[in-house]
Amino acid sequence: MLKIKSENGGVRVGGITFFDVTQTFDCGQCFRFTVEENRAAGFAFGREVTLTQLSENEIYINPCTEKEYRELWERYLSLDTDYGAIRAELKSIRRDDEKLALAMETGRGIRILRQDPWETLCSFIISQNNNIPRIKKIIDSLCRAGAELTGGSPVAFPGPDALVRMGTEGLFALRTGFRAAYLYDAACKVLSGEVELGGLFGMSCAEAETELCRIKGVGPKVAACTLLFGFGKLDAFPIDVWVRRVLTEYYGDSVAPSSFGRYAGLAQQYLFYHRRYVEG
């Protein structure tokens, strides 16, 4: 049971297991946070927030009220989910998988965030054939441009209406390159309701992927990342160059994503983190 306590304008959350601020915010799933030492500072859901790891089992969220914690951050951070049970199931399904066991140990503090679906979709459209520092830079300039356009705060991620108003030219001017047309198409289809993001929560991964892939510039990988990091679908299994390496090097390509079970996406993230950030 988690212990929640207000303190100095923030909330202290104790009794946490399998959560590490640094690993969670620096494992390539989000792009609006900067990580240093034992803290992550950035933006989500139109708010600026700092998360600090006080100890292995305790974090501090600031600014934050108990109400905000319950209604927003607990779900965002997946602290409402029993990762001990999930990890146990994963291990039982992959009983003889020593590679995964090692990756799960090095990345034991990783949690899959439940980010805003629209922001996640755009972020991973931008991510294609791109590197993480530049992805962050583009997203940041996109938020600034959105604020400039609407008169709102650059803390918020601009909605589909704002992107439509920017137009392909405006988006291209933000150095998005060939992704400008993709972002514009995503904005048009979401704004018109041709693709209804809210409806994807109730769909299976395969069905939701089909819907997302109706957007130009959204293929299997971007769709999987959106479903995993934006919709909390833990079976979504993105395959990028690093995961491809893992699959060939560890398993000789003789493994299907489904063989990792209903938490295949989380397994993927452990493997990605281990191969990309630990093994180099």
Q: Which residues sit at the interface with DNA, rule CB under 7 A?
A: 27-29, 124, 127-135, 172, 175, 177-178, 213, 215-223, 225, 238-243, 268-269, 272, 276
CA distances to 99, 117, 128, 129, 152 from 268, in Å? 12, 20, 18, 19, 37
12 vs 275, beta carbon nearer DNA: 275
CB of 66 to DNA, least distance (A): 31
As separate numbers, helices (DSSP H) first and strands (DSSP E) second, the chain gives 13, 6
69 vs 242, beta carbon nearer DNA: 242
Residues 49, 155: contact at Cβ < 8 Å? no
230 vs 238, beta carbon nearer DNA: 238
CB of 264 to DNA, least distance (A): 12
137 is catalytic: no
Q: Is 18 exposed, middle or buried (0-12, 13-18, 19+ CB in 10 A)?
A: buried
CB of 8 to DNA, least distance (A): 33
CB of 178 to DNA, least distance (A): 4
16 vs 222, beta carbon nearer DNA: 222
CA dihedral 30, 33, 35, 41 (to 10 degrees): -140
CB of 187 to DNA, least distance (A): 15
- Cβ-based neighbour number of residue 214 at 10 Å: 12
Q: Which of 110, 82, 79, 120 shows the shortest CA–CA distance to 227? A: 120
Q: Which of 67, 63, 72 shows the shortest CA–CA distance to 45? A: 72
10 vs 160, beta carbon nearer DNA: 160
In which residue are the tokens 């109400």 written? Answer: 67
178 vs 201, beta carbon nearer DNA: 178
Q: Per the omega criterion (within 30 degrees of 0), is the bond before 117 cis?
A: no
Instruction: Return d(Cα 151, Cα 121) in angstroms, integer.
Output: 23
Among 136, 216, 221, 233, which one carries the catalytic annotation?
Answer: 221
CB of 212 to DNA, least distance (A): 9
Q: Is 237 exposed, middle or buried (0-12, 13-18, 19+ CB in 10 A)?
A: buried
Active site residues: 221
